[in-house]
Chains A and B, each alone.
Chain A
Amino acid sequence: MIKKGLLLILLVGFVAVISGLLINFTGSNELNPLASYYAEKGPTEVGAANLVTAVVITYRGFDTLGEVTILFIAAAIVGFFLKTMNADTNRPLRLRKTSEILETASTLLVPTIFMLGAYIFVNGHLTPGGGFQGGAVIATGVMMIILARPASQFNHKLISVLESISGIGFVVMGVLGLVLASGFLNNAFLPLGKLGSLLSAGAIPIIYVFIGIKVGSELTSILDSLKENQNEI
Chain B
Amino acid sequence: MSILLAIFLGLVILVLAITAIYHKNTKVAIIATGTVGLFASVLYLLLAAPDVALTEASIGSGLSTIIFFYVLNKIRQSND
- What is the bound-complex CA distance between A120 and B71, given in angstroms? 30
Contact B50 A129 (CB under 8 A): yes
Checking B51, B63, B77 against A143 with a beta-carbon cut-off of 8 angstroms, the contacting residue is B63
Contact (Cβ within 8 A) B67 A133:
no
- Closest Cβ of chain B to A15, distance in Å, is 19
Residue of B63, B71, B74, B77 touching A136 (CB-CB under 8 A): B63
Residues of A within 8 A of B53 (CB): 128
**B residues within 8 A CB of A130?**
51
The residue on B at minimum CB distance from A53 is: B51
Does A232 interact with chain B (Cβ within 8 Å)?
yes
Which candidate, A31-39, A197-205, A221-229, is the interface stretch facing chain B? Answer: A221-229
A129 to B49, CA, bound (A): 10
Interface positions, chain A 202-233, Cβ under 8 Å from B, are: 219, 222-223, 226-227, 229-233
Of B51, B67, B77, chain A has the most CB atoms within 10 Å of the CB of B51
Binds A, one of B9-17, B19-27, B28-36, B54-62: B54-62
Main secondary structure of the interface of B (DSSP, over half): helix
Contacts of A187 in B (CB 8 A): none
For the complex, what is the distance from the CA of A42 to the CA of B52, rounded to whole Å? 20
Q: Which residues of A (105-139) have their CB < 8 Å from a CB of B? A: 120, 128-130, 132-133, 136-137, 139
Q: Once bound together, how far apart are the Cα atoms of A230 and B71, in whole Å? A: 9
User: Cβ of B59: which chain A residues have Cβ within 8 Å of it?
Assistant: 136
Provide the residues of chain B in CB contact with A136, threshold 8 Å.
Answer: 54-55, 58-59, 62-63
> Quick one: given A139-B63, A143-B66, are A226 and B55 in contact (CB under 8 Å)?
no
Contact of A231 with B67 in the complex, beta carbons under 8 Å: no
Instruction: Check: B2 CB closer than 8 A to any chain A CB.
Output: no
Measured between C-beta atoms, what is the minimum distance from B15 to chain A in Å?
A: 23
- Chain A residue at minimal CB-CB distance from B59: A136
Q: A226 and B70: CB pair below 8 A?
A: yes
Count of A residues near B, CB < 8 Å?
24
Interface residue tally for chain B (C-beta within 8 Å)? 16
Nearest Cβ on chain B to A90's Cβ, whole angstroms: 15
Q: Which residues of B contact A143 (CB under 8 A)?
A: 62-63, 66
Task: Give the residue of A137, A146, A147, A226 whose beta carbon is less than 8 angstroms from that of B54.
Answer: A137
* CB contact under 8 A between A140 and B74, given known A128-B50, A219-B63: no
- Given known pairs A140-B62, A143-B66, the reply for A133 and B55 (CB within 8 Å) is yes
Contact of B73 among A128, A146, A147, A232 (CB under 8 A): A232
Using A133-B54, A223-B63 as known contacts, list a sample of 17 further A-B pairs with CB atoms less than 8 Å apart, ordered by residue number in A.
Answer: A128-B50, A128-B53, A129-B54, A133-B58, A136-B54, A136-B55, A136-B63, A139-B58, A139-B63, A140-B63, A146-B66, A147-B66, A223-B67, A230-B73, A230-B74, A230-B77, A231-B77
